[in-house]
Amino acid sequence: MTVNVSELKEKFQKLFGEEGCIKSFFAPGRVNLIGEHTDYNGGHVFPCALTIGTYGIIRPRNDRKLRLYSVNFDKMGIVESSLDDLTPSEKAGWTNYPKGIMWTFEKRGYHLDRGADILFYGDIPAGSGLSSSASLEVLTGLMLRDTYGFDISMTDLALIGQYSENHFNGMNCGIMDQFASAMGKKDCAIFLDTSTLNYEYAPVKLPDARIVITNSNVKHSLVTSAYNDRRNESESALKALQTVIDIRTLGDLSEKQFEQYKDAIKDPVCRKRAKHAVYENQRTIHAVEALKANDIETFGKLINDSHVSLRDDYETSCEETDILAELAWNVPGVLGSRITGGGFGGCTVSIVKNDSVDLFIRTLDKAYTEKTGIKAEFYVVDIGDGAHALDSYIQEDL
């Protein structure tokens, strides 16, 4: 779907008035090709930014008032707040995300001396696991940086987004989602070492294949608590391992070292969580090597192995995403398929040969509905750029 930014600007002016200078921005969602739940375990990830994401229109005010509006939550209308009331609350709903970024700016010494009117619109499907929250966070940070003239790098905007989600919104996420949204590059995935933030752009060359995202249209309610549980279990495993080997993170271990020292982890659940973190990190390294060597078959097999590990060892899959992955594995021309994102619902990501894309969608559409009673959605996606200002792109439209 093509978003008409001019129409969003017109909507903004109807809501907030036509006076003053307004600016428009975009931050993408992301899909992680491989490397799941490794980002807070000091491992590698391999996400790419998408061409879907969140759009924002902003105009600074002359007082400390905040007026926030989302086209996606239009029934809430304009939500009014203040820079003097940057505290999380259930009543604030979606506005906790932009307010959390403002709170983090203030904590880091970037003083917001006046409020703003802001309109948001996102075309990331809700609950899909394609990082609508990180997209909103990075977008807000970019708007504040450019509107108020702060000197902040895109990497720091990603870190601000992560800090905000951890400490304002209570989701103990790693850095991957915000980093991908801030630092994405067209037609490339980001091979990121989350323990150092060293990264490289790896061109995603899929001759005769496409990336297809399948939305299970399921999001189980335990996602936040269970996600935080997985992080705590991984940290317990790390502490146990640190009694027998000098490591900073689970990502420091090879598979061989894990097998040598795993008995130090007495809790069998924590041992499984650590096994996933270690093996998934190594899978991600091998997957990038395979992609660079144009070995798409091996790349796809590692994607399949990732799903099995997320299902059996990390236990962040669910019945619906398991069904989607297993159906995909049996479709001719599917090179690999797995759950992507935080888990407990959301989406699978699949690498599908061009001449099998239609068959893939037809097959999964029918069989998934028969097995679950739920209608899946399919997106054949392109890899886009990271967050950026839009005004220079849309001058011709105005």
The answer to whether residues 346 and 222 touch, using CB atoms and an 8 Å cutoff, is no
CB atoms within 10 A of CB 171: 16
The answer to whether residues 125 and 215 touch, using CB atoms and an 8 Å cutoff, is yes
The answer to whether residues 397 and 6 touch, using CB atoms and an 8 Å cutoff, is yes
Q: Where are the beta strands (DSSP E) in 196-279?
A: 198-203, 209-219
Measured CA to CA, the distance from residue 51 to residue 230 in angstroms comes to 30
The answer to whether residues 380 and 211 touch, using CB atoms and an 8 Å cutoff, is yes
| Token code pair at residue 82 | 């203040």
Catalytic residue selected from 39, 117, 177, 305: 177
Q: Are strands 47-60 and 23-32 parallel, antiparallel or unpaired?
A: antiparallel
Measured CA to CA, the distance from residue 330 to residue 362 in angstroms comes to 13
| Token code pair at residue 395 | 């001058």
Q: Are strands 65-70 and 334-340 parallel, antiparallel or unpaired?
A: unpaired
* Catalytic residue flag (residue 177): yes
The answer to whether residues 377 and 215 touch, using CB atoms and an 8 Å cutoff, is yes
| Token code pair at residue 329 | 């594995």
Measured CA to CA, the distance from residue 341 to residue 345 in angstroms comes to 9
Which amino acid type is present at position 338? R
Put the strands of the sheet holding 44-45 in their side by side order.
44-45, 188-193, 198-203
Provide the CB-side half-sphere exposure for 101 (13 A, CA). 23
Tell me the torsion sign for CA atoms 103, 104, 108, 110: negative
Residue with tokens 């699978």: 348
The per-residue DSSP string of 272-318 comes to: HHHHHHHHHHHHHHHHHHHHHTT-HHHHHHHHHHHHHHHHHTS----
Active site residues: 177
